[in-house]
Structure 1
Amino acid sequence: MKRKKPIVTGTLQQKADRYYLVFRIPDSSGKLKQKWISTGLPVKGNQRRAKQLLDAKLVELQADYDRRSRQAGWSVAEVGEVPFDEVVRRWMTRKRSEVAPSTFEGYEHITARLLPYFRKLDLTMDEISPTVLESYCEFLSDAGLSANTVQHHLTLIRSVFNDEIRNGAPILNPVKCVKAPRVETFQGETLSVEQIGQLFRLFEGDPIEDIVHIGVIYGLRRSEILGLRWEDINRETNTLHIRHKVAEVRINGKRQLIRSNNLKTEASRRAFPLSSDIRQRLEHRQARIAQNQASNRWYSQSDAAYIFVDANGKLLSPEYVTDHFRWKIAHSDLPKVRFHDLRHTCATLLLHEGCSLREIQSYLGHASYLTTTRYAHVDARSKEHALEIMSAALMTGENN
C-alpha cells in the first residue's frame, strides 16, 4: 500500500482575547508535534485576517516539510535498505551548501576512494558492520594511507550515519564499534635559532621574504598571512590584526581563491604588536607597491586591499607560496621543512624561551590547549630546567 504523504495541519485558537495559530507538524518518524504561533490580533473583528495568516503559514510550513523530506531523499524507516554509497552521495550534496569550500574539498578527497570501494560491494546501510569498516581501514592502510587519514575516512562515515540517525532513521552507527588504527601524534620539523638565520639569508631578496619572516615571528598560518590587508595594520597602536584569510580550493576541477572573514576558530581572531623589523618591512613593501603602480600600466587594482601581491598587483596564491618555499628549501642545506613548519618552529622557540603553554595557545590562536601541546613539544632544555627546579626544591626540603 502506498504511504500517504504527511500533511501539516493547523487551526485557529483563542487565548487571552488573542488569535493564535496552532499547527501539527509531522517529524521524521511521522509523529505529530504541536507548534503555537501568536498572530498578535485581537479576537474581535479579526477572524478573516487571522484565517488568511493561518492559510499562508500552512503553505510555508508544508513547503518547508516537503523540502526537508526531499533532502533526506527517502523515508527514514526505509533508509537501512538504501545502498550505502547512495546515502554518502546524498550526504555530500547536502554538505556542499553547509560547510566551507575547503572542508568540502577534503570530503571530496575522501569519497574519491570511499565511493568506488563501497559501490563494488553493493552494501545497504544495514549491511555496513564494524567488520566491513575494519576491512575498509585495512584496504586504506595497504594503499599507503596514514592512520590519521584512515581516521578522517571513519569520521566522515560516522557523520553520514549520525545525520540519518538525527533525522529519525532506526539504525545504529557501526563506527562506534570499529577498532581503528592507532593515530601517531604528529611532530612537525623545527629549525634552531642558527637555522632560522640561515633561512632568512636564503630568502633575502626573494618574493616571499617578508612572508617567511612573518611566518617565523608570529607563527601565522599560511591563509592568515595571505589574508592580511592594509586595514589590518594599525600604525597608531602599532598593531597587526588577524581577522581575514585567503585559502585555495578546487571547485569543479579548477583551483580558486576563497577570501573569507571566517577564520579556522574564534581563537584565531587575534592581534599582535608590530615588531620594528616587520613594521619596516611593511613600509618598504608599501613603497614598492606604489612604485609598481606608477611604472606598470597593466598593474591590477583588484587586490589593492591586500598586502602580499605580486609585481602586477595580483594576490599571491597559497599554492605558489608552498611550492616556492619547498623549491628553495630543496636547493639548500636546511632540513626539509614545510612552510607550515615555521609555525611549529615559532611554538617551540616560544616554549624554549620560557613562555607557558597557555601563552603560546593565545599567541598561535589555538582553540584547544591540547593542540598547543602537540605543536610545542617539550625539548631537552625545558626538561633540564624542570629538573633544576625539582632538585632545588628537594634540596631546600632536606636542609630544613
Structure 2
Amino acid sequence: MGGKRGFGAIRRLPSGAYQARYTGPDGLRHQAPWSFATKEHADVWLAGQRTDISRGVWTPPGVPGPDEVALTFGTYAEAWVAGRDLKPRTRAHYESILATRLVPAFGKRPLDAIRPSDVRLWHATTDATKPTIRAHSYALLRTIFATAVADDLVPTNPCRIVGAGTTRRAGKTRPASLAELEVLVAAMPERLRLMVLLGAWCALRFGELAELRRMDVDLKRGIVRVRRGVVRVSTEVIVGTPKSTAGVRDVAVPPHLMSAVRAHLNAHVGAETDALLFPASDGRNMSPNSLYWHYYPARVAAGRPDLRFHDLRHTGAVLAASTGATLAELMARLGHSTPAAAMKYQHAAADRDRVIADALSRLASAPPSG
C-alpha cells in the first residue's frame, strides 16, 4: 500500500516496514537507503529531504545521516514473522529459530551488509550435529532474504548454499505389517483402539484424531470429516484448521472398520454432537503424552519399538498406494497440497510390490514337495 503527498511517496513493504521515495532536483527518482519502522519516520525523512532541497544543500541519499539508523536484520526479521499469517506451531518454531540462531548471529548487522561468505561461515559453524534444525534455520534465513530482495532492500539473496535448506531422515520408515498392526491394536486400551485403527487405515494425523467429534462421523456414508486439528504450543492448546487447506477433507473409512466405529461411538463417546471421539480423562483434547503412555508398551508388544505414532499414517498411505491409487487420489486422502509427499508412498508401495514379486519367483523355483 502506498501513500502519496505533495512531495514524495511512501509505501508499505510486505515485511511491514515502510519505504520512502521522491523525485530529486536532478530529475531522477531517489529511494531512501533504509526502510522505516513506521510511516511517521518515513514522513520525517521525506520532510528532511525536501528541506535540504529548498536550502540548496541537497545531495542524493546514500550514507545514513546522524539521525538515521540502518535497518538491521533483527528488526526486519521480527517484522517479517509478525506480518505473516502462520499456524501457531509454525510461528513458535520460527520465533525460536530467530531467538536462538539467527538473531544472535546476524541481528545487529545492517540487512544489506550481510554477504554470502557470512552466511556460509555461519552455516559451517552452526548445529553441525543437528542437521534438521540447521536446515530449518537456513531455510528461514533464505526466505526472509527473498522477501528483502522483493522489498528492494537488498540487491541479491546472500543465501546460496545448494541443498542447505533440506534434510533427509537417517533411515527409511518401515510401515507396520497387518500382523503387527493387529497386535498393536489389541495391546491398546479399548477406548484407544479405534484411534490407532483410524491413524493407520485412514492415515490421519494425531492432531486431527484428537479433535474428531461425534458430528464429524457420518455412519451412513462411512466417512470421517476432517475440519479441525489441535496443536500444543508450549502449555497452550490451540484448536484450528488442519495443517493446510488440503487438510480439510472427507476420508472414507474402510468398510471392515465401521463396526468398530459404531461400537466406539456407543461405548466411549458422549451423546452431544460436539463430544470428542478420543477425550483425555478430564474431557478435554488428549495430549500426545497421554496417548504415548499406552502406545509405547503396545508397540513393544507388537515387536516394533521403532514405530512412531505418526508412522501409522505412513502405513496407511502405503496401504492406499498399494491398491493402485493415483497420485491425486493419495493427495486427497492424505490432505497433501503438493505431490512430493504423496509420491514417496507410491514409491514405497512399488518397493513392496518388488518384494512380493521376488517371493513369487522363489515359490516358482522351489522344488516340488512329496
Q: How does the TM-score come out when normalised to structure 1?
A: 0.66
Aligned mate of 1:382, from 347, 353, 361:
353
Contact 2:327-2:343 at 8 Å conserved across structures:
yes
**Residue of structure 1 equivalent to 2:88:** 101
Deviation, 1:211, is 0.9
1:310 matches 2:280: yes
Aligned mate of 2:104, from 101, 117, 126:
117
In structure 1, C-alpha distance between the alignment counterparts of 2:105 and 2:76, rounded to whole Å: 11
**Residue of structure 2 equivalent to 1:279:** 258
In structure 2, C-alpha distance between the alignment counterparts of 1:335 and 1:195, rounded to whole Å: 11
Aligned mate of 2:243, from 246, 250, 264:
264
Matched residue SS, 1:248: strand
In structure 1, C-alpha distance between the alignment counterparts of 2:123 and 2:296, rounded to whole Å: 31
Q: 1:129 to 1:342 in 2, by over 3 A?
A: same
In structure 1, C-alpha distance between the alignment counterparts of 2:155 and 2:329, rounded to whole Å: 45
Aligned mate of 1:320, from 290, 296, 300:
290
Deviation, 1:347, is 1.6
Instruction: Give runs of aligned pairs for residues 214-233 of structure 1, distance below 5 A.
Output: 214-233=198-217
**Residue of structure 2 equivalent to 1:342:** 312
In structure 1, C-alpha distance between the alignment counterparts of 2:268 and 2:325, rounded to whole Å: 37
Instruction: Give runs of aligned pairs for residues 1-400 of structure 1, distance below 5 A.
Output: 8-9=4-5, 26-27=10-11, 28-31=18-21, 69=39, 81-95=70-84, 98-115=85-102, 117-118=104-105, 122-142=108-128, 144-146=129-131, 148-175=132-159, 177-181=160-164, 183-186=166-169, 187-203=172-188, 205-250=189-234, 255-260=235-240, 262-289=241-268, 304-322=274-292, 324-326=294-296, 328-329=298-299, 333-378=303-348, 379-383=350-354
Whichever residue aligns with residue 114 of structure 1, its letter is R
Matched residue SS, 2:304: coil
Contact 1:101-1:249 at 8 Å conserved across structures:
yes
Deviation, 1:322, is 4.7
Decide which moves more: 262-271 or 310-319: 310-319
Q: How does the TM-score come out when normalised to structure 2?
A: 0.71
Q: 1:9 to 1:69 in 2, by over 3 A?
A: closer
Matched residue SS, 1:272: strand
Contact 1:304-1:313 at 8 Å conserved across structures:
no
Deviation, 1:206, is 4.7
In structure 2, C-alpha distance between the alignment counterparts of 1:133 and 1:324, rounded to whole Å: 45
In structure 1, C-alpha distance between the alignment counterparts of 2:10 and 2:242, rounded to whole Å: 38
Write out per-residue CA displacement over residues 200-228 of structure 1, whole angstroms, 9 at most, x where no aligned residue. 2222x354222111101101111111121
Deviation, 1:103, is 1.1
RMSD across aligned positions (CA): 3.9
Contact 1:248-1:319 at 8 Å conserved across structures:
no
Contact 2:314-2:345 at 8 Å conserved across structures:
yes
Deviation, 1:32, is 7.1
Contact 1:188-1:341 at 8 Å conserved across structures:
yes
Write out per-residue CA displacement over residues 38-93 of structure 1, whole angstroms, 9 at most, x where no aligned residue. xxxxxxxxxxxxxxxxxxxxxxxxxxxx9963799x98986993333343334344
**Residue of structure 1 equivalent to 2:29:** none
Write out per-residue CA displacement over residues 304-339 of structure 1, whole angstroms, 9 at most, x where no aligned residue. 432221344222124433564345435763241111
